[in-house]
Homo-oligomer: A and B are copies of this chain.
Amino acid sequence: MNNGIYDLIHRRRDVRAQFTGAPIPDEVLHRVLTAAHAAPSVGLSQPWDFVLVRDPALRHSFHDHVQHERAAFAATLSGADADRFARIKIDGVLESSLSIVVTYDPERGGPAVLGRHAIADAGLYSVCLAIQNLWLAATAERLGVGWVSFYREPFVRRLLGIPDGIRPVAWLCLGPVTHLETVPDLERHGWRRRRPLDTVLHHDRW
């Protein structure tokens, strides 16, 4: 038994405010990306790509877009929810060292992807497994990761020149951090509390 994996899994956080902006050594980034690329994938299709976004102009453009989408979500809230949301930082795009955009290519490994004929989304699922590998490896390397999802896919596709048919799945911010919080931001800010495990377990039938 390897206790390290449990420590990592429970220590991992979704980081917004703790990025230092310090550079990530190339060999560290290579290990983290190699970990992502070693994820399981339907039919061994490995349908992911990683766009490493360092250009400050691109990151500023994305950040502006995120602020616009933040306002759009805020407009749907009222009362205590609106107050709570106003205090929550939703991204570290400008403060982190690097952004990694992870995409999905449904044509990869086709036309007959073993294990995907009955479930079209199986390839999309594979991309997410790669993201969690990346996240845990980064945590082991003392880097923070923040998944930003306040964006519209067509905007990211245009910004980065992602071809038609390739789907952006995640915009991840990555970099050294001052520390990882012990409680998720959304719980610390009273947005939502984590549920006990036993509320999501079923035996044989739902």
Number of copies: 2
Does A48 touch B at the CB level, under 8 Å? yes
Set of chain B residues within 8 Å of A133, measured between Cβ atoms: 9, 132, 136
Kindly report which residue of chain B lies nearest to residue A81, judged by CB atoms.
B112
A5-63 CB contacts (< 8 Å) to partner B: 5-10, 12, 14, 31, 33-35, 37-40, 42-46, 48-55, 58
Does A116 touch B at the CB level, under 8 Å? yes
Q: Chain A interface mostly helix, strand, loop or mixed?
A: mixed
A28 CB, min distance to chain B CBs, angstroms: 8
Q: Which of A34, A37, A50, A149 has the most C-beta atoms of chain B within 10 angstroms of its own C-beta?
A: A149
The range of chain A's interface size is: 35 or more
Whether A125 pairs with B128 at a CB distance below 8 angstroms is yes
Q: A1-B141, A9-B38, A50-B201 given. 15 additional CB < 8 A pairs?
A: A1-B140, A1-B142, A5-B8, A5-B35, A5-B136, A10-B35, A12-B40, A51-B204, A72-B117, A81-B112, A114-B192, A118-B151, A118-B152, A119-B149, A160-B202
